[in-house]
C-alpha cells in the first residue's frame, strides 16, 4: 500500500504503531479501521498512548474493530495462510481500555446479523482531551 501511495506522488512510510516517527500534536484526526485488532492486548495501551501523542488537542481518533467476545491468539478458522493473530474485546473491556487514554465521544455496535459471522463490529469515536494538569506536567 505504501508503494502504491508513493507511485501516486503521496508521502507514505512504514512505521510501527508503537513508535510513530512523527512530532507530537501533528494530526487533527486518525483513522484506524481493522488494524489494531492484530495487536496483542498487552501492547494496546502503548499504541493508544502513541496515537494520543500525535493527535492535536481535541483531535479525533476513529477506532473500528471486530469484537464482542474475549479472545486473543491465532485464529484457527482464518482462511488466510499463514493464519493471523487477532485480539477481540468484549464491548465493556474495549471501552475500559480506550477510556484510559481518550474521551469516548461515541461507541456504536453493528450486530453480527448485519455483517455476518459470529463477531459484531465496534465503532469508537475517541477524542484527545488535554486537561489543565496535563499542561502543567509538561
Selected residue with higher pLDDT from 74 and 138: 74
* Segment 5-21, tens digit of pLDDT: 999 999 999 999 899 99
Helix (H) or strand (E) segment spanning residue 57: strand 55-67
Q: Is residue 52 part of a domain?
A: yes
Alpha carbon distances (Å) from 136 to 26, 28, 66, 101, 130: 20, 22, 37, 18, 11
Q: Is residue 8 part of a domain?
A: no
In the block, residue with C-alpha cell 506536567: 137
Q: Is residue 131 part of a domain?
A: yes
Q: What are phi and psi of 26, to 5 degrees?
A: -90, -40
Q: Is residue 75 part of a domain?
A: yes
* Segment 67-77, tens digit of pLDDT: 999 999 998 88
pTM for the model: 0.87
Amino acid at each position: 500500500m505504501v508503494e502504491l501511495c508513493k507511485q501516486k506522488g503521496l508521502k507514505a512510510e512504514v512505521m510501527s504503531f508503537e513508535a510513530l516517527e512523527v512530532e507530537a500534536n501533528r494530526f487533527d484526526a486518525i483513522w484506524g479501521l481493522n488494524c489494531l485488532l492484530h495487536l496483542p492486548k498487552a501492547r494496546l495501551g502503548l499504541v493508544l498512548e502513541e496515537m494520543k501523542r500525535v493527535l492535536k488537542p481535541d483531535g479525533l481518533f476513529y477506532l473500528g474493530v471486530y469484537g464482542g467476545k474475549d479472545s486473543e491468539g491465532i485464529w484457527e478458522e482464518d482462511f488466510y495462510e499463514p493464519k493471523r493473530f487477532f485480539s477481540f474485546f468484549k464491548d465493556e473491556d474495549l471501552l475500559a481500555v480506550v477510556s484510559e487514554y481518550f474521551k469516548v465521544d461515541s461507541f456504536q455496535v453493528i450486530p453480527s446479523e448485519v455483517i455476518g459471522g459470529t463477531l459484531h463490529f465496534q465503532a469508537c469515536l475517541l477524542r484527545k482531551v488535554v486537561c489543565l494538569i496535563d499542561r502543567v506536567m509538561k
